[in-house]
Structures are given as C-alpha cells and as structure tokens.
Amino acid sequence: MKAPFSLGRFVLFASCLSIFIWLMARCSTVYPETRLVTGKMFPAVSGEDLNGEEIDISSSYWSSNSRPTVVLVGYEQDSQFDCDRWILGILQLETPVNLIELPTIPGLIPRMISGTIDSGMRSGIPSEDWGAVVTLYGESATDVMSFLGNNKASNAYVNLVDNSGEILWSHHRGYSASLALELDALVRSIPAPLD
C-alpha cells in the first residue's frame, strides 16, 4: 500500500518550488544603466493597474495629462522603500505633477503568477492608490529594463516625463532631498500647457 503524501513532503515541495520561482525571477538579464535617457521618449508599454484596468502608456497617455508625470520604476520589492520616499518628498513639496508607479517584473514565471503578485501588492497599498500602480510584465517589462538599465535594481528609477512622452529628468541612485528640490524646481519652470 502506498503511503499518503505527508505534510513534510508537501513543505519540502513547496519550499523547493518557492526557491525555484524566486531564482527564476532573479535570473533575468542585467542591462547596464543608461546614462543619457533625458531627451529620449519613454518606451510605449502596457500593463494592468491594481484595479484590473489595462493601461496603455504611450503618446495618448502622456498627452491626456495636463501636467508632467513622475514615473517611478521599481524592479524589486526592495525598491518600494525608495519609491515611497520619493512619493512622500513630492507630496510634501506639493510638486505639481502626476505620479505613476511601474513595478517592472520580467520573465515567464512572474507573468504566470501575476495574479498572486498583484494581489500581494494590493494588500500593502491603499485602494485609493491602486490606479496609480501599473504592473509591467513580459515584453513591456523587458522594454523598460533594457531602456533604463537595471543594474541598480533595488533603487527606484525616477523619471520626469512631459506631455509628449519625453524624459526631462532622470535619477536612479536612491532618494535625495536635494534632488527632490531640484525636481520640484524643474517642474515649476515648465510652462503650463495652453488649453
């Protein structure tokens, strides 16, 4: 008679599977940092916000905004701390920008478990902010990573993007209060669009 599947075997199997998924997610290609992204157009990508709505981040997305957008790209869960500091600094300065967070997760396995990943993010983010968090998987994630670079994956990649999709300012070396002031001054120097 065959012995039933024991709890110990199940725990071992679940642990091995978790480690395998973690390794597969971490084994993505490392793209060197792109130093000169200012003056270039942010890649046209698409993802789903935490409300479940498909968001196309392309020329129509940028042109629908009446003010510039700060795009916070995060590659790892550790980058959330950096994103949060940037968001707090921008809100405290009352910088007149739109904010969007792009958790960027390449690879087949993360795409396959995207519902679980997004559910985990929803549990840690207030529902009123879900529309400003658009997760990129698959090709969209790879497009952003190869464009910006990802060798400092635990930092947020912060980009100021204008109404045409052009990157006006970029930083990815961690939060800096002086750079938040620099970003605020730059935003305030941009002429308001004509109605």
Q: Kindly report whether the global pTM for this prediction surpasses the value 0.85.
A: no
16 domain-assigned: no
178 domain-assigned: yes
Under a CB-based contact definition with an 8 Å cutoff, are residues 106 and 5 in contact?
no
CATH code (residue 146): 3.40.30.10
80 domain-assigned: yes
Q: Which residues of the chain have pLDDT under 50?
A: 23, 27
- The phi, psi pair for 41, rounded to 5°, reads -85, 135
Residues 6+ apart with CB under 8 A from 6: none
Per-residue pLDDT tens for 94-145? 999 999 999 998 866 666 666 777 777 788 888 898 999 999 998 999 999 9
